[in-house]
Structure 1
Amino acid sequence: MFQLAGSPPHDSLTKLSRRHGPIMSLRIGSMLTVVISSSEVAREIFKKHDAALAGRKIYEAMKGGKSSVGSLITAQYGAYWRMLRRLCTTQFFVTRRLDAMSDVRSRCVDQMLRFVEEGGQNGTKTIDVGRYFFLMAFNLIGNLMFSRDLLDPDSKRGSEFFYHTGKVMEFAGKPNVADFFPLLRFLDPQGIRRKTQFHVEKAFEIAGEFIRERTEVREKEKSDEKTKDYLDVLLEFRGGDGVDEEPSSFSSRDINVIVFDYEFLPFGSGRRMCPALPLASRVLPLAIGSMVRSFDWALANGLNAEEMDMGERIGITLKKAVPLEAIPIPYRGT
């Protein structure tokens, strides 16, 4: 336990694996964790023991109400999880639907480019690059789910939703002693569960308003001619109309070979692989390519790329400790 202190967990675990091998068992308090640090072992596990390892540890931060039960990410492997997964693979992230939403992706990326140009003040001001990608991602999710921008500068609810979901990710990623020592669960000594659930409830309240508004609109329109967003599909599913069978699922062409080589698993693997991979594989190249094509980039304070701080901080996701700040200079070439 004390050998994990100081360095980020992934760095500490890498150092330990060099001493103890590609499979390690760590006991921190009452929690037993098995660490796999070899692509060969990962391949063996996901191919032969995937079902046995498809469950999920529900951390204290996510316990409260039904937020841990209703989530595809945290639901235990079983009939309920398979139903959610099937909903994703046959309705949400199939090629037909993703192709139909291409104009939404393009519009959200174009909006991001406009925000970047305005924020950079024609190449004279430094911006937090990551923030603009988050703005684009949340607006894309908002349009796919609710047919609206969540982070419209004039939308108070959108800003609140962004704030509360960001706080959920922040608190849920913090180490919590209550996860390691069960006797402390009811005390919640760090207040992580209480803070996380506060922001979860606030985010759910705002999402509930979107759902109620959409339900009212559906009752007035009663039309199937428009392109259905994801909330339409969920409301139909809840209404008992069932889920249409769609043979198109994940295409092997959409999945980078590096994932199947188990060298790099940004979307997970096996049964619990992220079902949104087909969407991400379309959005990321478009967003990054558009940023590179539309702007010349310079680091703040005249820094060179070699001098940039590449330190990390870990939460639910791994992020740069110091956000990437750069000056976007609109490209005027031909």
Structure 2
Amino acid sequence: MYMLYRIFLILINIRIYVYLWESRNPENREMDISAPALFLLVCFLLSCFFVFATAKSRSSSGGSVVLPPGPPPLPIIGNILHFGKNPHRSIAELSKTYGPVMSLKLGTLNTVVVSSPEAAKEVLQTHDHVLSARTSPNSARAIGYHDVSVVWMPPSALWRQLRKISASQLFSPQRLEATKTVRMKKVKELMSFLYESCERGEAVDIARASFVTSLNIVSNALFSADFARYDSKESHDYHDLVVRVTKSAGKPDIANFFPFLGFLDLQGSRKEFKVCTDRLLKVFQGLIDDRFRERLNRTEPRDGSRTDLLDSLLDLNQDDESELNMNVIKSLLLDLFGAGTDTKSSTVEWAMAELLRNPTKMTKVQTEIGRVIGENVVFDDSDIQKLPYLQAVVKETLRLHPPVPFLIPRKAQSDARIFEFFVPKNAQVLVNVWTIGRDSSVWENPTQFEPERFLGSEIDVKGKDFELIPFGAGRRICPGMPMAFKTVPMMLVSLLHSFDWKLQNGAVPEELDMEEAFGVTLHKAQPLYAVPVMKRVGPTSSAEI
């Protein structure tokens, strides 16, 4: 009778879960998951799992451990319904009740969420060696991407090699200086596009324009080639592909909570991820094939000063002892391609949205830019160091709108402790940097956009100040941070130097939609369109640039 009662409860809870999941997230429903056959299959699998898990937990109980507090879980589904459409917000609300170290039961997945600078330091520094593995999403596991991606793979010899290659070949001070001319050229092209839009009186999609600039900076570093042009369909396709990849990898998926259901792909995340990544990998394969042919036909020694990342990777691929096979190389290119474009364009879009909503702040940063750069069209990295208010705008944007709100989920490689709380082996650990950035005990007026808070402040984003860690910290800190701080301010200067901005169709700044679209990257739900208006400084047409 006990067994029948448990199975009956499972059936009821699964049907309730399906109904509530669809009503909360109708856009996630990619197939009819209430079809009778599929419903019975899911119920049967979960029934078997529940019986097994219950028996196992009974036999292994008795330890004296203190788990972090958290909301009471429902049978089977646990706290999945607490996740909501925007988990960073719903979990922030829960942390007000249960504290800065909180546990959630998400299906079969034990999850610990930290939401304070002190707790984040425990995860990212004190216990970094134990909590440096990753919890990979079902969408990435579908194509084995989690085994070869520098983002998702656990620390290993291959992971360290890929990090070292990225740091030395792309993000070192020497390489950033060597690629300075390319960055300046791409920013100049962005300004030309803005002048043309201004002359036509057309609104600019800020995220797409910033994405094209970031994309061409990254593609030149990787392949010595431009990938896109402004207002081209191909550029829009690349942007859509990258956004779809981050959304499919980041959205709540039932298979992330019940991994044994992954093969069913109930929400289409696997299919979406595979379709998008296959298209990008096909482009990379074509470039690799072209480079092989070029190397075979080369009659003169290669100019070492012009070597891009692809050349370096192909050189390493020829080493018999190297683990860099073609699958690993393409995965690294995919990691760098996505992370190096989407997060930058999203940050620029959020910064412009906040400045449009705060005209006095925009005037202040434009005045600083005008004072330092004057009417010059040409500006470079060295000018950014002379613009403290612009740098404060970037920091404040990252505080309010961190590109990756939970960072990349970590996994405990063994049992650990965060303060007095027990973290079991294989538990997922989330660092809610979105909540930390809006913590009233850390920040004054935490929801207000106030760049002035960083003027004269020693707080930085380099992983040492845990109240502001948009790039993470510890051994898995984002390696692309140095390039981001070369690129994002330069793009903002190009947008603000010669133009004033107004919203299209007479919209007023106070009504600007600031809703977020959750994924691995936190995008604006509604793209920001704004019309550039010529200022009385700088050139008067695109031909003068």
Change beyond 3 A, Cα 1:187–1:107: same
Following superposition, the deviation at residue 269 of structure 1 comes to 1.2
Given the alignment of the two structures, is residue 325 of structure 1 paired with residue 529 of structure 2, yes or no?
Answer: yes
Give the direction of change, closer, same or farther, for the CA distance of 1:135–1:239 in structure 2 (3 Å limit): same
CA distance in 1, matches of 2:312, 2:320: 10
Distance of aligned partners of 1:127 and 1:152 in 2 relative to their CA distance in 1, 3 Å threshold? closer
2-structure distance, mates of 1:293, 1:113: 9
Structure 2: how far apart are the matches of 1:12 and 1:169?
20
Say whether the 8 Å CA contact 2:498–2:537 is kept in structure 1.
no
- Verify: 1:27 aligned to 2:230, yes or no: no
Give the Cα–Cα distance (whole angstroms) in 2 for the partners of residues 276 and 319 of structure 1: 19
For 1:279 and 1:290, how far apart are their aligned partners in 2?
A: 17
CA distance in 1, matches of 2:207, 2:86: 21
Residue 498 of structure 2 is matched in structure 1 by 294
Establish whether residue 313 from structure 1 lines up as the match of residue 517 from structure 2: yes
Residues 42-82 of structure 1 show CA distances to partners (whole Å, capped at 9, x for unaligned) of 12322210011110111110023442222111111111111
Partners of 2:283 and 2:240 lie apart in 1 by 11
The answer as to 2:222 corresponding to 1:145 is yes
Answer with 291-300 or 163-172: which moved more.
Answer: 163-172
Cα contact 1:157–1:206 (8 A) shared by 2:
no
Match of 1:78 in 2: 156
| Cα RMSD, aligned residues only | 2.6
Partner SS for 2:264: coil
Q: 2:199 aligns with which of 122, 129, 137?
A: 122
> Do 1:170 and 1:316's aligned partners in 2 also have CA atoms closer than 8 Å?
yes
Farther off after superposition, 275-284 or 38-47: 38-47
Aligned-partner SS, 1:51: coil
1:284 to 470, 482, 488: 488
Task: Name the CA shift for 1:154/1:306 in 2 (closer, same or farther; >3 Å).
Answer: closer
- Structure 1 residues 2 and 167 mapped into 2: Cα distance closer, same or farther (>3 Å)? closer
**Match for residue 264 of structure 1 among 458, 465, 468:** 468
Match of 2:307 among 228, 249, 258: 228
Deviates more, 1:24-33 or 1:167-176: 167-176
Equivalent of 1:100 in 154, 178, 201: 178
| CA distance 1:187–1:66, change in 2 (3 Å) | closer
1:247 equivalent in structure 2: none
Q: Tell me the secondary structure at the aligned position of residue 275 of structure 1.
A: coil
Q: Which amino acid aligns with 1:295?
A: F
Q: Could you state the TM-score of these two structures normalised by the residue count of structure 1?
A: 0.88
| CA 148–158 in structure 1, closer or farther in 2 if over 3 Å, else same | farther
Change (3 A) 1:40 1:123: farther
Pair 1:219 & 2:312 matched: no
State the secondary structure of the residue aligned to 2:134. coil
What SS does structure 2 have at the residue aligned with 1:296? Answer: strand
Whether 1:209 aligns to 2:413 is no
Letter aligned with residue 237 of structure 1:
L
Residue of structure 1 equivalent to 2:252: 175
Call closer, same or farther: CA 1:190–1:2 in 2, change over 3 Å: closer
Gaps of 5+ in 2: 1-78, 323-384, 386-390, 396-458, 539-545
* Deviation digits for residues 74-96 of structure 1 (CA, Å, limit 9, x no counterpart): 11111111111111223321111
Q: Any conservation in 2 of the 1:311–1:322 contact (CA below 8 Å)?
A: yes
Q: Give the secondary-structure state (helix, strand or coil) at the position aligned to 1:125.
A: coil
Letter in 2 for 1:204: L
Aligned pair count? 324
CA distance in 2, matches of 1:127, 1:152: 14
Do 1:25 and 1:35's aligned partners in 2 also have CA atoms closer than 8 Å? yes
Q: Which amino acid aligns with 2:512?
A: M
Name which one, 1 or 2, has greater alpha-carbon Rg.
2
Provide the identity percentage: 35
Deviation string for 1:82-139 (max 9, x for gaps)?
1111112233211111101001111111112222333x24262222111111111111
TM-score by length of 2: 0.56
Q: Distance in 2 between matches of 1:45 and 1:2?
A: 23
Aligned pairs for 1:39-58 within 5 A: 39-58=117-136
Residues 282-313 of structure 1 deviation map (CA, whole Å, 9 limit, x = unaligned): 11111111211021111223333333221212
